[in-house]
Amino acid sequence: MQNFTLHCHTNSFGVFDGRSSVAEMITKAEELGFEAIGISNHLIWHPNMRPFSPMFFSDWNKIVDVFKRVIDEVKSEGEKHKIDVYVGAEVDFFPSKEWRNGFEKMLKELKFDYLIGSNHFLRNQDETFMCNLYHLDWLPENITEEEFNELVKNHWQNIIENIKSGYFNFLAHPDYCVIKIPDKKEYDEYRWQIVEALSKYHQTYEINTSGYNRINMQHPCDWMVEELCKRGVQTILSDDAHNVDMLGQHFERAENLLKKYHNQHRLTLDFLKK
C-alpha cells in the first residue's frame, strides 16, 4: 500500500484551510509509518480574484511572501523529523496569458519540490469572474441556467488546459466538481476528454480519496480509473488530508480499486529524490 501522501493541507499562518499544523501533520505521518509526507497548501492567485477567503490572492507580492514563509516552515520542521518531508502546492490553474505569466514569475521566486495542478473554480470565458465550488452562493442571484452551464463548461475546459500546460507533477481530483454540482450524464463527455488528454500528454493524475467521505466515490470516478489504467496513465493516491485524522484515509479502498483494474503505473517518490 502507498505509504506516503503528497497532497495535504495545514493551518499555517491562519491563511490556509487545514485544521492541523505542519508539525502535527508530520508527526502523525511518522506515527502511521509513512515513508514521506508532502505539504501542499492551496496556491490561489489571480489578478481578478476577489478576496472572499484569506487564501485567495490577487496581490502577487503577498502570495509570494506567504509561500516563502510556508516553504521555510515546512523545511525547518522537516529537519526535526526522521521521515522525508517535502513542500509543494495545490495550484489553481487558469489558462490566460496573464495568469501564466504571473505564475511563471512566481516559480522563479518559490522553491517548491513539486506542484499539483488543481481546479476549484467556475469561471467565465475571459476570467473576469470566478466562483469557488465551495461558495456557489456567491453566484449572481439572477443567473440563468444557460449562464450557469457556461461557467461549468469552462470549469471542465480548465481541467483540460491544466493537463496540457505541463506545469504540474500531477493533476488533482479530475471530476471533483460533482461534489458540489449534481452529476449529469452529459459530464461524461468532459470526463472522456480528460481521460484522452491525460493519456495524450502523459500527465500523472491523483486518485483523491476524500470523496469517499462526502459522496462515497473517489475522484476520478470508477470508469475513468478503469480507462486510465488501460491506457497506462500513471497515478498516485492522495488523501487530501485537512487534519491529522485524514492522513492515509481510505488508501486501502483505493488500492483495491487499482488492483481490480490491473494498474501497473504508479508515481513513486523517485522524482523528488533527484
When binding is defined by CB under 5 A, the residue of 240, 248, 254, 258 that contacts Zn ion is 240
The residue (of 227 and 240) whose beta carbon lies closer to Zn ion is: 240
The residue (of 136 and 143) whose beta carbon lies closer to Zn ion is: 136
The residue (of 55 and 172) whose beta carbon lies closer to Zn ion is: 172
> Which residues have CB under 8 Å from 138's CB, separation 6+?
52, 131, 132
Least Å distance between CB 197 and Zn ion?
A: 19
Q: Provide the residue type at 52 as one letter.
A: F
> Which residues have CB under 8 Å from 122's CB, separation 6+?
130, 131, 133, 136, 139, 151, 152, 154, 155, 177
The residue (of 165 and 231) whose beta carbon lies closer to Zn ion is: 165
Neighbours of 228 (CB within 10 A): 23
Query: What residue has cell string 521521515?
Result: 83
* Contact string 44-73 vs Zn ion (x = CB under 5 A): ------------------------------
Q: Which of residues 72-91 bind Zn ion (CB under 5 A)?
A: 90
Q: Provide the residue type at 222 as one letter.
A: D
Least Å distance between CB 53 and Zn ion?
A: 13
β-pairing verdict for 121-123 and 130-132: antiparallel
Return the exposure string of 166-205: e unless at least 16 CB atoms fall within 10 Å of the residue's CB, then b: eebbbbbbbbbbbbebeeeeebeebbeebbebbbeeebbb
Of 16-24, 28-36, 45-53, 238-246, which segment contacts Zn ion by CB under 5 A?
A: 238-246
Least Å distance between CB 205 and Zn ion?
A: 13
Among all residues, whose Cβ is closest to Zn ion?
240
Least Å distance between CB 155 and Zn ion?
A: 13
Q: Which of residues 132-191 bind Zn ion (CB under 5 A)?
A: 172
Torsion of Cα atoms, 30 then 33 then 38 then 42, to 10°:
-80
State the residues that interact with Zn ion by CB under 5 A. Answer: 90, 118, 172, 240
